[in-house]
């Protein structure tokens, strides 16, 4: 079995210690950091995403896999930076104002990082103004808005309106999600995409970056 496959499989098992050790081993063998990232960590997280989407695994397993992924990323990041390897794109992510839920948002962030994206996570209870400021500062390709309550869903629309007022709406794709959110609602408020789960969100983000 190749070292990259070993990294992928250790990640899928949520074995952070093994991922860390195997990542170091791969680099010591002279493998390119980018290959370790894409064919080891991202490949493993991709399989986790598919299994999660198909209800073969659940939130705890995804959290364990993500922790393992971060243990490898911590080793790779300095080497990737040295070689000038950049993420495929940038996403500003947050749960909207008035909403304190963040498990779904965190899962989306993990899956997006696992897909090779840089994620600027603004946290929960994030105002429209803060989203706008983050777009100005970080210049992302995508803004991803989470709302887990019917009472906070209108805040997703408020963020889109704030982006319009700031003249930034055309520069970003807006993705929305959360338990009460629907495709119909996304169309009504002028979002670019609605995704029902974290794996779909990561896949859609990759499609937006590639288009």
Gyration radius from the chain CA atoms: 17
Same domain, yes or no, for 157 and 203? yes
Structural domain range at position 34: 3-82
Same domain, yes or no, for 60 and 98? no
Model confidence at 31: pLDDT above 90: yes
| Summary mean pLDDT of the chain | 95
Which of 82, 113, 143 is a domain's end point? 82
Q: From residue 29, give the alpha-carbon distance in Å to each of 68, 113, 158, 161.
A: 21, 25, 51, 51
Q: What percent of the chain has pLDDT over 70?
A: 100
Which of 31, 66, 82 is a domain's end point? 82
* Domains of the chain: total: 2
pLDDT, tens only, 154-187: 999 999 999 999 999 999 999 999 999 999 999 9
Same domain, yes or no, for 103 and 194? yes
Reduced 3-state DSSP string for the chain = CCHHHHHHHHHHCCCHHHHHHHHHHHHHCCCCHHHHHHHHHHHHHHHHHHHHHCCCCCHHHHHHHHHHHHHHHHHHHHHHHHCCCCCCCEEEEEEECCCCCCHHHHHHHHHHHHCCCEEEECCCCECHHHHHHHHHHHCCCEEEEECCCCCCHHHHHHHHHHHHHCCCHHHCEEEEECCCCCHHHHHHHCCCEECCCHHHHHHHHHHHHHC
Give the CATH number of the domain where residue 124 resides: 3.40.50.280
pLDDT, tens only, 107-123: 899 999 989 999 999 99
Model confidence at 16: pLDDT above 90: yes
pLDDT at position 145 is 98
Give Cβ neighbours of residue 42 (< 8 Å, ≥ 6 apart). Answer: 114, 115, 116
Same domain, yes or no, for 44 and 16? yes
Give the CATH number of the domain where residue 71 resides: 1.10.1240.10
Give Cβ neighbours of residue 202 (< 8 Å, ≥ 6 apart). Answer: 49, 108, 111, 112, 114, 115, 117
**Cβ atoms 111, 121 nearer than 8 A:** no
pLDDT, tens only, 126-163: 999 999 999 999 999 999 999 999 999 999 999 999 99
Q: What tokens does 207 get?
A: 């499609």
Q: In which band, very low, low, confident or very high, does the pLDDT at 57 lie, cut at 50, 70 and 90? A: very high
Same domain, yes or no, for 78 and 102? no
88 vs 208: CA distance, rounded Å: 11
Same domain, yes or no, for 116 and 187? yes
Q: What tokens does 127 get?
A: 């105002």
Q: What tokens does 36 get?
A: 């370790």
Number of C-beta neighbours around residue 98 at 10 A: 15
Same domain, yes or no, for 94 and 74? no
Q: In which band, very low, low, confident or very high, does the pLDDT at 103 lie, cut at 50, 70 and 90? A: confident
């Amino acid at each position: 079995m190749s070292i990259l496959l070993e990294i992928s499989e250790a990640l899928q098992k949520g074995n952070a210690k093994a991922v860390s050790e195997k990542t170091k081993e791969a680099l010591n063998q002279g493998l390119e950091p980018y290959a370790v990232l894409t064919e080891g960590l991202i490949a493993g997280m991709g399989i986790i995403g598919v299994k999660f989407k198909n209800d073969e695994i659940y939130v705890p397993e995804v959290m364990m896999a993500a922790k393992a992924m971060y243990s490898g990323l911590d080793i790779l990041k300095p080497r990737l930076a040295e070689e000038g390897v950049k993420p495929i794109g940038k996403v500003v992510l947050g749960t909207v104002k008035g909403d304190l839920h963040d498990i779904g948002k965190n899962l989306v962030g993990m899956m997006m990082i696992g897909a090779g994206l840089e994620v600027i996570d603004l946290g929960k209870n994030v105002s429209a103004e803060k989203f706008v400021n983050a777009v100005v500062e970080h210049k992302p390709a995508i803004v991803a808005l989470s709302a887990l309550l019917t009472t906070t869903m209108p805040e997703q629309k408020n963020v889109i309106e704030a982006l319009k007022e700031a003249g930034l709406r055309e520069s970003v794709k807006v993705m929305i999600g959360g338990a009460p959110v629907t495709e119909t609602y996304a169309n009504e408020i002028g979002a670019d995409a609605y995704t029902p789960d974290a794996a779909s969100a990561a896949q859609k983000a990759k499609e937006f970056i590639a288009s």
